[in-house]
């Protein structure tokens, strides 16, 4: 593998691989825009505290309490992600990869939207479980689709007696391209979301996450190819 062959492989990527990368980018942008500012959202919006108040004031201590509760929300996210990863095995025969992919984005979009519209402590903590559904979906379903694409291509090569030719694609480069969407999402959010939060407040993060997730949901339903 040389740099030239690497770039050639990326540029010649089939359209269904590109669509999968775009959907993965939408998913990570939605997920990270919520997770990066979630504890601040809990402190400022849900608990009505202020990080800018003097450190001996009630507002500041209220904000710190909100951040602590937000950390528990992230723990709920981690537990739900682990549990849902096992549940996917049960759901897969019934709803397939498309159902898993679509429902992960949809539930996350609805959950973050409800948190933004109704910032209540208990409902927010309950809805944190939907973050785990999205997290598990992002770490599993796109890579399962990559495996399905390659399995289909290998079957076609066997039928045409061309298996192992130099024109075959490797799974590694496609998985790497998919993983790069995480870093690209971080760059995009790093450029724009911090400024948006400073102007409009932390509430904008969950609303942005909801909107991007629901756009990604439509993209997953209509543009991603399923074998």
pLDDT at 125 (0 to 100): 92
When divided into structural domains, the chain yields a total of: 1
pLDDT at 105 (0 to 100): 96
Confidence of residue 161 (pLDDT cuts 50, 70, 90): low
What's the whole-number mean pLDDT along residues 10-33? 89
Q: How far is CA 149 from CA 116, 135, 174, 181, in A?
A: 37, 22, 10, 19
The domain of 140 spans 3-158+166-223
Other beta carbons within 10 angstroms of residue 168's beta carbon come to 12
Q: Are 72 and 131 in contact (CB under 8 A)?
A: no
User: When comparing pLDDT for 84 and 51, which is higher?
Assistant: 84
Q: Are 224 and 178 in contact (CB under 8 A)?
A: no
What's the whole-number mean pLDDT along residues 80-107? 93
State yes or no: pLDDT of 55 exceeds 80. Answer: yes
Return d(Cα 189, Cα 78) in angstroms, integer. 22
- State pTM to two decimals: 0.87
Return d(Cα 194, Cα 202) in angstroms, integer. 10
pLDDT at 162 (0 to 100): 54
Q: If you average pLDDT over every residue of the chain, what do you get?
A: 87
What's the whole-number mean pLDDT along residues 121-125? 92
Q: What CATH number did the domain enclosing 76 receive?
A: 1.20.1250.20
Closest CA to 85 of 120, 137, 14, 22: 137
What's the whole-number mean pLDDT along residues 83-112? 93
Other beta carbons within 10 angstroms of residue 99's beta carbon come to 14
Confidence of residue 150 (pLDDT cuts 50, 70, 90): confident
What's the whole-number mean pLDDT along residues 69-88? 94
User: When comparing pLDDT for 82 and 5, which is higher?
Assistant: 82
Using alpha carbons only, how large is the chain's radius of gyration in Å? 20
State yes or no: pLDDT of 157 exceeds 60. Answer: yes
């Amino acid at each position: 593998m040389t740099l030239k062959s690497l770039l050639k492989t990326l540029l010649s990527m089939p359209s269904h691989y590109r669509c999968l990368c775009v959907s993965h980018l939408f998913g990570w942008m939605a997920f990270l825009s919520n997770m990066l500012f979630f504890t601040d959202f809990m402190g400022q919006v849900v608990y009505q505290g202020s990080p800018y108040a003097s450190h001996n004031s009630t507002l500041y201590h209220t904000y710190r309490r909100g951040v602590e509760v937000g950390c528990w929300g992230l723990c709920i996210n981690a537990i739900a992600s682990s549990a849902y990863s096992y549940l996917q095995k049960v759901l897969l025969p019934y709803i397939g990869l498309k159902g898993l992919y679509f429902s992960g984005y949809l539930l996350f979009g609805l959950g973050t939207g409800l948190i933004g519209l109704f910032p209540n402590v208990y409902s927010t903590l309950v809805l944190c479980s939907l973050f785990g559904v999205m997290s598990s979906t992002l770490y599993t379903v796109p890579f399962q689709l990559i495996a399905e694409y390659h399995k289909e291509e290998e079957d076609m090569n066997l039928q045409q007696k061309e298996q192992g030719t130099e024109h075959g694609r490797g799974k590694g480069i496609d998985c790497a391209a998919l993983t790069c969407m995480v870093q690209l999402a971080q760059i995009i959010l790093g450029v724009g979301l911090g400024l948006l939060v400073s102007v409009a407040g932390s509430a904008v993060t969950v609303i942005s996450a909801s909107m991007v997730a629901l756009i990604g949901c439509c993209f997953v339903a209509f543009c991603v190819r399923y074998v």
